[in-house]
Structure 1
């Protein structure tokens, strides 16, 4: 078995790896995704530092619409997952021909979906910043950033599909490498688009560095351009070079009611979760915006800084979806439970360690992201509050990823939504009035602990193991 790949058929029928082998397999398959997440985080830090160097107003204008962009991009992820979970189970069952046909249908449906999302985003881009309670000086930059970023949604949709298809067919390495490339390109494009032409001294050699001087608009254009490049490469590697999902092999492009309906059943609860969850993020933005530009900038940059801790969780969650999906599709109940348990344990341990790092390094991270002393101090405080909840956030991410592999999406969705609105938002409003931004982040940390704990109980009970295989 090559590093970074996995196929359930490589285990003979009835064979069960040892605990050490299972942990090693979960770790090895998670590593490419974790490294990709790490590169994304590093590039996000650099990106945020580039914009942050323009001042608190620039950071706040992006932060104003950032949560809405999470919603639109998240819906594209949900739509792709409705098909990629089916692909994982079909590959696990050894039905590669059927997996290819499901992928063909996904391309047709997801292209149409992303174009609809682009149309809606373009229609609301002019009014959105004002709806969110943004201050007048933020509105123009925020509106342009949202519109330009939204134009990349079709490319992001295909990247999500390609990443999911490669991961669920057992290839964790290729999508990780391509996503790393996308982050590098984003920084390179931003370097030339955000700043004006300026004098640079490199190793004692002075020269004029060309630049477009577009500011916040340049950050959006750079991100969109990088996504288009990655989309082209992702389509090539996921749909042409991939030995299992090679669309050069003849097959059908006809939409099938069962496939689309199954994707819809998976998409609906995930989309509901994203809509309500991101509505909560947007509501948080509305709560934070009146606290002032400093609080808005600190909130935005702290969210970027905290993403350091997401890295192992989302990497392991992606590996868990693939491993659990293949094991469930092959009818291996023992492997399904084993992979889920080990993935969750590893995710919690690594995110707890990341939380410790975040607590210690918070002032240094904020100092890198912004030159504004008030923003630095406030950002450091809220990051240290959040660091205590990271282990349970890891449980939330990886348990959800594991259950997703069996098609168990509705239950975790209800749990996440109830905790988000019933605890985080309900507590944020009074705490913000009394404590300002730190009160909002205390509510956030409490919600992560409660939600992660409830999902661990659901994983332990094991009813999700009895779900029917979607592949049929």
Structure 2
């Protein structure tokens, strides 16, 4: 089940490389414009993913319990919640598009492109959230191939539209935003119809809408709060990096895109772990859920460790493909090699978090992410940035990822799979308590 998800994530990584290369060819100011607001877009995307997770985990467990009618009821409720959330986020994003680059202390030339990029991104959120929700529902229902295939198509369309808007119409950074938005619109509609086709012929069963929403909040709210606070920390990191200059902003932005070569496959494995663990929960097989979690973790660590070695060796070549600026190339390769050493621990945090989501255990993992980000990365970045520049910030990142990975490994081994409140609730009746333990 991991293979289609990994292929989709790898195609997404390839898209990021090509996007970065397209924008990077316009110069360091263009790269810095997107890099300035990148953490803000991650924050908003993370909130959408949290909403999707809250409902998709319920779908996985209902499918595992062979209650497909109730699963379809959850899908309907999820779509309503996602629509309302996206409308609010669109309005908020549009309002922030002008002041945000100023608040992030970007240079005057950088602010213009950053504002345009964020405005278009905000306008597309209705479709972005719909695609995220549909993709997660299909995965948790056991259909990994369809969302993976469509996410690959998303990457291909993004490349085509970007080439048209960036180079043919010469719209630069604005063209990059428009290309991505057009891709999201087309694929989100396709993904929406794929969910309908998957549940075709299955009639809704009576299920309390209030209970569905409450359970979704129980699972998704800790993730949303975690994503918000963690991404606020990443925005603060941009504030720390901004005074280091345009070269550092551009190198940081491109290095983040380059690093995704390693961690995106980890997210693919984590998504498969969520599905398999969640369906095992619904089928009342705690030992099988545990084995899926352990196996996925080992697979993720092995895969990302190998990719980390490749990234360390190929860092200079990667940056020669992403930008033609020699200063950005040199600095980006240095920081990318620093982070490569933390990939095995980063893998453990990604995959274990995915496995724990399958049983509704989201609160403690979210707290781990908050503690490590604010207590380790931010503090060390403040201390190291002034003396070591961008290399200091990425050293802080590597140390924090090792610390976070150790926390998740301990959580995995200490998890009491057989006696969690989730399984006890399952024995009592047909409804699941997804609060986790």
Where 2:116 maps in the other structure, the secondary structure is helix
The alignment's TM-score, normalised by the length of structure 2, stands at 0.95
Map residues 218-297 of structure 1 onto 2, 5 A cutoff: 218-239=175-196, 241-242=197-198, 245-246=199-200, 249-251=202-204, 256-297=209-250
Distance in 2 separating the partners of 1:85 and 1:433: 43
The alignment's TM-score, normalised by the length of structure 1, stands at 0.88
Distance in 2 separating the partners of 1:356 and 1:250: 50
2:31 corresponds, among 34, 37, 59, to: 59
Where 2:356 maps in the other structure, the secondary structure is helix
Distance in 2 separating the partners of 1:356 and 1:264: 39
Tell me, yes or no, if the aligned pair for 2:37 and 2:101 is still in contact at 8 Å: yes
Where 1:408 maps in the other structure, the secondary structure is coil
Where 1:194 maps in the other structure, the secondary structure is helix
Equivalent residue for 1:347?
300
Equivalent residue for 2:78?
106
Larger Rg: 1
When structure 1 is superposed on structure 2, of 402-411 and 156-165 the one drifting more is: 156-165
Note the C-alpha offset of 1:403: 0.3
Note the C-alpha offset of 1:430: 1.3
Distance in 2 separating the partners of 1:103 and 1:153: 19
After superposition, the Cα gap between the structure-2 partners of 1:464 and 1:378, relative to the gap in structure 1 and judged at 3 Å, is farther
Map residues 127-166 of structure 1 onto 2, 5 A cutoff: 127-166=99-138
Note the C-alpha offset of 1:252: 6.7
Where 2:240 maps in the other structure, the secondary structure is helix
Note the C-alpha offset of 1:100: 0.3
Map residues 331-410 of structure 1 onto 2, 5 A cutoff: 331-410=284-363
Note the C-alpha offset of 1:255: 6.8
**Shift >4 Å, 4+ stretches:** 252-255
After superposition, the Cα gap between the structure-2 partners of 1:252 and 1:96, relative to the gap in structure 1 and judged at 3 Å, is closer
More helix by share: 2
Structure 2, unmatched stretches of 5+, are 433-437
Superimposed CA distance per residue, residues 366-418 of structure 1 (whole angstroms, 9 cap, x where no aligned partner): 00000000000000000000000000000000000000000000010111110
Distance in 2 separating the partners of 1:316 and 1:71: 22
Tell me, yes or no, if the aligned pair for 1:105 and 1:254 is still in contact at 8 Å: no
* Aligned residue pair count: 425
Whether 1:457 aligns to 2:410 is yes
Distance in 2 separating the partners of 1:251 and 1:447: 45
Tell me, yes or no, if the aligned pair for 1:406 and 1:467 is still in contact at 8 Å: no
Superimposed CA distance per residue, residues 92-151 of structure 1 (whole angstroms, 9 cap, x where no aligned partner): 000000000010011111101111111111111110000011111111111010010111
Q: What is the Cα-based RMSD across aligned positions, in Å? A: 1.3
Distance in 2 separating the partners of 1:257 and 1:332: 28
2:376 corresponds, among 420, 423, 439, to: 423
